[in-house]
Structure 1
Amino acid sequence: MWVPRRAFLLAAAAAASAPALAQVDVGASSSLRRLVPAETLEASATQQYSQLLAQARAKNALAPAGHPQLQRLHAIARRLIPFAAQWNERARQWHWEVNLIGSKQVNAFCMPGGKIAFYTGILEQLQLTDDEAAMVMGHEMAHALREHARERIAKSKATGLGLSLGAQLLGLGDLGNLAANLGTQLLTLKFSRSDESDADLVGLELAARAGYKPEAAVSLWRKMGKATGSAQGGLAFLSTHPSGPDRIRELESNVPKVQGLYAAARRGG
C-alpha cells in the first residue's frame, strides 16, 4: 500500500503546482522533476552564477549598482517578484539577484533559485521598452519557477542511468550527485517547445499582474523575429528561444486572458 499511496501524493502535489487563479493554461509541472533535488540544483546554479559574475567583473563588464539600465531592471524585478510564489512556493525563499553584463550578446536568463542576468545587447540591439523587458524577465523567471531545468535534467539523465520515479523515492542516489555538478550546463540547457510555451504564458501573466502591457509580449517576439534575419551577431537568446509565427499567434490568443489582470494592476489592485 505504501507505493500507491506515495504515488498518489506525488500526483496530488503535481496537480497543485499550477496556481488555481492562473488565467493562462499551462497545466501542472512534471512530477519527474522530483528525481533531481531542487536544493542541490539551486546551489549549483548559485555557484555557476557567482563564477559568471566574477568573470564579467574581471573584464570590467559587470554593471555597477548605479548603472541606469541595471536600475531599470531592478525596478522591473521589484514589480514581478511578488507574484512569483503563486507559481512556485520555493520562490519565497529564493535569494533573487538581477545583474547586467556588458556584451553584444542578445541574451538573458534566470537560473534555478532566481539568479537573473541580462546582457546589454538584448536591451540595446532590440531597443526594448520597459514592457518588453518585463516580458523577457517574466519569461526567464517562468523557466525557473516551472523548474524546467530540473525537469530537463531528470528526463535526459534518468533514462541513461536506468532510474525510475519509483526507484528514486527510496533515495536520490546518482541523480542527486549529478545535479551538484551541473552548474556549468545550466546556461546552455535547451528547453523543449512545451517548456518555451509555458514560459511565454507564465511570463505574460507575471508581467500583466505587475502592470506591464500584455501586448508587449507580441511586439517583443516580432522584434526577435526581425533580429533573427539581421546581420547582428551574438543572438544567443534566439538559438535557445526561436521566434516564429506560431509563438506569436499563441501569445496573441492569450493576451485577452490577462487584460483584466493588467487593468487591475494599473488601478492599483
Structure 2
Amino acid sequence: MKKFLLVFFVAMLAGCMQNTTNVGKSQVDRSQLMLVSSDEINEVSAKAYNEVIAQAKASNTLNKDPKLTKRVRDISNKLIAKAPYFREDSVKWNWEVNVITSDTINAWCMAGGKIAVYTAIVEKLKLNDDEIAFILAHEIAHALREHVREQQSQELVKNGLISVASMFGVDNTILGVANVAANVGISLPFSRSHESESDEIGLELSYMAGYNPDAAASLWRKMQEHSGDGGFEFLSTHPSHESRIENLEKLAAKLKTGK
C-alpha cells in the first residue's frame, strides 16, 4: 500500500509540473507542461493528416460536394484570419481544410492547422453557418492551445514514472491500479479542462469572425438530442451536455455584453 501511495502521489505531483506556452492575447491563463517540441508534434500531425487525406482520395470521399466544401472553407478562412489574435505564430501555419464524406459525426483540427470536417456533422445535425463556425473554432482552439502537445507530454511523465517504479520492484498489479488511478485523477479531468478551454477560446474566436455566439449552445443541444445522455461526466473526457450548454450560454452573454 505504501508503494502504491508513493507511485500515485508522484504521479499527482507530475501533473502539477508545468511550463508556460504562449497563446497570445487569450484570456485563458494557465501554465502547461511541454516536454515535446512543437516541431515534433506538427511534423507527426502533418504526416497523419496526409495519410487521412490520401485514404479519402483513394475511397473517393474527399471534397465530393463542392458547395459544402466551399461553405466550410469560407467559414474556416474567416476564423483563421482571426487566429493570430490568440496565437501570433499561427499566421505562419500551413493551414489546410478538407471535407470528408462520412457517417461519423466529427470534425477536428490537428496541430499546425490541419482541419477535417465529416459531412455527417453538418448534414445529420442540420448545422447553420454559425454552428459550423463554432465547431470549427472549437477545434482550431485545441491547436492554438497545443493540447495534443500537452497531452503527449503528460503521457511521457506518467508512463516514465510507472516504468521507474517497476524497475524498483513495485508489483505489476499495484502499478496497474496506480495507472487507472492516475487516469481518473489526472488525465480525464485534464481532457475535460481542454474541452472547456477550447469552448471559451473557440466561442470568442467565432464571435470575432462575425458569428452568433448563441450558436454554440444550440449546437450542443443538437448534439444532446442526437446522442442522448452523455454518461457520467466524472469518467468522461468531455463535459456533460448540460454543464457545457450552461457554460456556453454564460460565455455568450459575456461576449455580447462586453463584460
Whether TM-score is above 0.5 comes out as yes
- Is residue 249 of structure 1 aligned with residue 255 of structure 2? no
1:201 aligns with 2:207: no
Q: Deviation of residue 90 (structure 1)? A: 2.7
Structure number with higher relative contact order (C-alpha < 8 Å, ≥ 6 residues apart): 1
- Map residues 46-65 of structure 1 onto 2, 5 A cutoff: 46-64=46-64
- C-alpha change, 1:57 and 1:76, in structure 2 (3 Å) is same
Q: Of 25, 28, 35, which residue of structure 2 is paired with 1:26?
A: 28
Aligned to 1:166: none
Are 1:17 and 1:29, in contact at CA under 8 Å, matched by a contact in 2?
no
Query: Match of 1:244, as an amino acid?
Result: H
Secondary structure of 2:90 counterpart: helix
Shift of 1:146: 0.5
Asked if the contact 2:23–2:144 (Cα under 8 Å) also holds between the matched residues in 1, the reply is: no
Task: Report if aligned partners of 1:204, 1:214 keep a CA contact under 8 Å in 2.
Answer: yes
**What secondary structure does 1:212 align onto?**
coil
1:188-227 to structure 2, matched below 5 A, reads: 192-227=191-226
Q: Tell me if structure 1 keeps the 8 A contact 2:134–2:203.
A: yes
Instruction: Name 1:120's counterpart in structure 2.
Output: 119
Structure 2: tracts of 5 or more residues without a match: 1-17, 163-186, 230-235
Q: Does the CA-based 8 Å contact 2:38-2:149 persist in structure 1?
A: yes
- 1:160 corresponds to which residue? 159
Count how many residue pairs are aligned between Structure 1 and Structure 2.
210
Whether the 8 Å CA contact 2:195–2:239 is kept in 1: the answer is no
* Offset of residue 197 of structure 1: 0.1
1:17 is matched with: 23
Q: By how many angstroms is 1:242 displaced?
A: 5.5
CA-CA distance at 1:87 after TM superposition: 1.8
Scaled by the length of structure 2, the TM-score of the pair is 0.75
Greater Rg by CA: 2
Q: Percent identity?
A: 42
CA contact (8 A) 1:215 1:255 kept: yes
Deviation at 1:160, TM superposition (A): 2.1
CA distance in 1, matches of 2:52, 2:112: 15
Report the CA distance between 1:207 and its aligned residue: 0.3
